[in-house]
Amino acid sequence: MALEVETHTADNGITVVAATGRLDVAGAPMLKEAISEVVKNGPPRIVIDMEGVSFVDSTGLGSVISALKQIRGSQGELRLAAPNQQARVVLELTTLDRVFPYYATVEEALTGF
Amino acid sequence: MRGGHQQFEFRASFSDLAEGLDILHQSIDRLRQATGRPADDRPLMLFETALGEIGSNVLTHGRPRGTAEPIDYALWFDEGTVVASLTDSGSPVQDHLAREMPAHDREAGRGLAMARSLLDELGYERDGGMNRWRLVKRL
């Protein structure tokens, strides 16, 4: 399934970017585009909601690294929420779990952000 | 699938990126169903992750510029081992087995290192102007 991305603002002003489908070489540009739109509007605090992401490949992971660079370049912060087992394996295998704090749920990611 | 001895075979050709990725993942779903494995079966999930990496590399780089030569794909399972082969007519791949995981801030270059560590065997050979990839994992 191709990636679909929806963006909304939570009660505490955090932007939640919710992705659904495969975050792979075909889907990565959609996530990059969505993050770029958020960053245009000022210092961003973003949670990427991965609950609907069924599969992540290295290019998809690259789009998250790109997002992190854009967000930090704008004095913002990024958290990942609800990666599935496959996504967690990819994060751990690449040791990027040391770079991206990830949370079990969106609610946890929003708490204290 | 035949009898009590589990066997599975799937073959396809494709040239479009999105179509090719869909077929790769569908083939794993079919294998999962045919062998009665749960959706969260970890060895098969690791194999699918490696297949996604090699498959996307082949679909992205595996054709001479300006052509739409199809990529041949086969997946089979026998005696507890899953094997995939991908054959393309792109340029030769250099030093693929030596590629290491890049630094955290690099956005690309992880695919082959990931696939190598997820599989029991990652084979590559250049044969008659074709690239042949072979992915093997004991499930």
Helix runs in B17-93, H state only: 17-34, 42-61
> In the structure, what pLDDT confidence band is assigned to residue B2 with cuts at 50, 70 and 90?
very low
Q: Is B118 on the interface with A (CB under 8 A)?
A: yes
* Interface mutation vs chain B, best among A53, A57, A63, A89, most B CBs within 10 Å: A57
The domain tally of chain A equals 1
Taking each helix axis from N to C end, the angle separating A28-40 and A58-73, rounded to the nearest 10 degrees, works out to: 10
**How many residue pairs bridge chain A and chain B with CB atoms within 8 Å of each other?**
65
What does the CA dihedral A57, A84, A92, B109 come to, rounded to 10 degrees? 10
Q: What range does the domain containing A62 cover?
A: 4-110
Element (H, E) at B117: helix B111-118
Quote the CA–CA distance of B7 and B97 in Å, as a whole number. 30
Helix runs in A1-113, H state only: 28-40, 58-73, 85-93, 106-110
pLDDT exceeds 60 at position B3:
no
Q: Do B25 and A22 touch (CB under 8 A)?
A: yes
Residue that is written with structure tokens 């792109």 in the block:
B90
Q: Do B111 and A24 touch (CB under 8 A)?
A: no
pLDDT in tens, B82-116: 999 999 998 888 776 677 899 999 999 999 999 99
Count of other CB atoms within 10 angstroms of residue A30:
17
Q: Do A58 and B114 touch (CB under 8 A)?
A: yes
And the tokens for B60?
A: 């992205």
Q: What is the pTM of this model?
A: 0.93
For residue B56, give the nearest of A2, A59, A94 by CB distance: A59
* CA distances in angstroms from A30 to A90, B75, B124, listed in the order given: 20, 30, 32
Per DSSP, the residues of A64-76 read: HHHHHHHHHHTT-
Chain B residue at shortest CA distance from A85? B40
pLDDT in tens, A58-95: 999 999 999 999 999 989 999 999 999 999 999 999 99
CB A73 within 8 A of CB A104: no
Q: Give the pLDDT confidence score for residue A69 in this predicted structure.
A: 93
Quote the CA–CA distance of B39 and A54 in Å, as a whole number. 11
Quote the CA–CA distance of A26 and A56 in Å, as a whole number. 11
B 58-87: CB under 8 A from A? 59-60
Q: What is the CATH number of domain B7-138?
A: 3.30.565.10
CATH number of the domain to which A52 belongs: 3.30.750.24
For residue A94, give the nearest of B40, B52, B101 by CB distance: B101
